[in-house]
Structure 1
């Protein structure tokens, strides 16, 4: 580890110091960001990039950093042949709402105003080409032609009604309505009629941000929508959708506007699952990757009292960063062996939870030809970087944060979020046609509310003053079906009683123990490991135990180079960096690979899905269980 620190310090101190490319401006009374931008011949967005706090307003005597004007980044000249209008951005307006107003696309808006992002500064003046004031009218919405054609599908081994309904984007009821023959069962070889569904990408055209809440989007009901189809489309229970839209109690009407959660994911069913990208490399063109990692070297330089060795003992964040970096270096070496044609540049993001120097680096460095960015680490900071690079459409990959955060169109959350992890576990249990029971501690109010709102079919076992009663579980158990029993408590006494009760039930029922999140109580000596293996304890995880030859080779190579086996952050650094390098080296674009290809690396899975509100989330989850041979296996 010490050698790596020395290498890092040498690396950082021998790089060229970035030249400052900005001037300081003291805000005068009555000045606004727009006036200051006009004075220096830059855009308000340029000022906001260097001064994020200015988005909350400016005060007299406030010091602002003003970037030097770059004539290579100016707006296109508007000639008499390109008639247009100037639109001044009002409060609450977005690129989407303005494009809609003038009947143009967001892409065209960005083409005419290349310096903007989706977060438009108040008062900013946009050029709208090909439009005159007299020609303004309501945009015409083209009706989508309904397709009533059907496809044929032959039932194969492993298919269930749930999996088929999910695969084709319909409900089980709709599947049975189209194929009455399967109401009593799903025989192998049966040919099913499947109504063609709209492309999920079209859904984004039906949605727009809700002005009253950043957590909601609006969806306009189209012809053919039903309450069943809407609940499936948005992956919401009927009661949850009605709670957001009380008017649905009177029925679904074409043209009505519904509020839906902004974190809804649009999954492409045609995605290439677990694709080996090493077999489809395209190395003709040279690509560029930038890494923002929080070495915080200036902090080390300015601390003359603490040696590097002492800092390593105390600074956990520095250790985490160095471990991640060591894994990233392994990924870069592996890419070179494969002949991948990528230039990698590493920057010190100098970050805390709420601040980063990355924006200054972006302002002073030329990021025009950068193909992808990994980092910074903290969610707030990676969102700032994504926003700064959004107008260039450069993918920014968040390597570690699980926070949901803001929606930025070019931001890819590589760490699955907690909501996604829970959802994956329930989808697995449903796909197995299991009966689901949950024993939830009264203190786990959020978990109980989640199940109540989103998993209506789950039976929740109540607690008495003395805890839960095993008979409360037994009355919900079903013969001849797997009974998945969820433990939602960390109290040692409750856990012991829970495990003992399930072992008794195993004599007469099929029972499997499930947890939705890590539970430290299960690691205590009082909890017998053999009992957990007998119950085949099952849980969702963002990582897997990988004992393949490739994984072992990675560990050996890492230990040889670093004299220590890789920890979770080193493996994460390798996985995220190597996955990105492989995707950058395909015949398709990086964005296309991120959307279309699901991949697996040493420990992690990368299966990105688009969020309706913007950006992408990783759905790569493993369902694991304790086997009786004391190993952890993937559930099939």
Structure 2
């Protein structure tokens, strides 16, 4: 009986691989190239040829790596432009290249043109970098090209739902909805247990286990007012002119700051900045006579001064503004 169930399961996998184009498989413990080929009812030579075409990192006769992604045949050159939305292998989409039409895309992926058209009823004329949904697409699929889907954050010491919502620029109510099983659901400020997995919205059932991501860095800035100098801004936010220039390399040449321009406040990491820059107002307690520890020789000009480690910047109320 167990053999029958296993055979049916493997058969279902094989059918799925053949019915959806550009399928992939993630290597599990104990897998071999031969066992994977047998699981999907394909020739080992075809599976190995597909790896060479899609540049998966596997070479015939070599060893598989745990969690390595393999391409399943048939593999077409156009598969290089096909991606999966979220974690659902049925949710495939194609990124339009110059000269593409629904007809050429269907031909390049060996798909029935009518099925491609049915999956994209609103498509009239295609533009480069548009997304074309492929047959098998359904309402459970994440939006094509949306890399904010299916994120999971692993709670660290001191984290709460409220602090995580702020860090990821999402609404606390939506965060609660995405994590209904959390024991702290009734208290947004209750400290979570380190190691708890928190789904970051938008997060649907199609996400499965999701993709673990780091907490993004909050990105703050200050909008220059008339008469402000770099030294003034460093003093306001208890940092140094050197650190300000590191976050804003365009200021290294010095000169007068333009009113209305935005100065990024350190620490600033653009790679992890989400939701735009939060503008901090001029601190009410700011006085031009304040001196910053470690930056004693700075002058109220645009020139950078020697690095110094000031205290963390205060946290007054702020407004959110996205920089384009």
**TM-score normalised per structure 2:** 0.28
More helix by share: 1
**TM-score normalised per structure 1:** 0.17
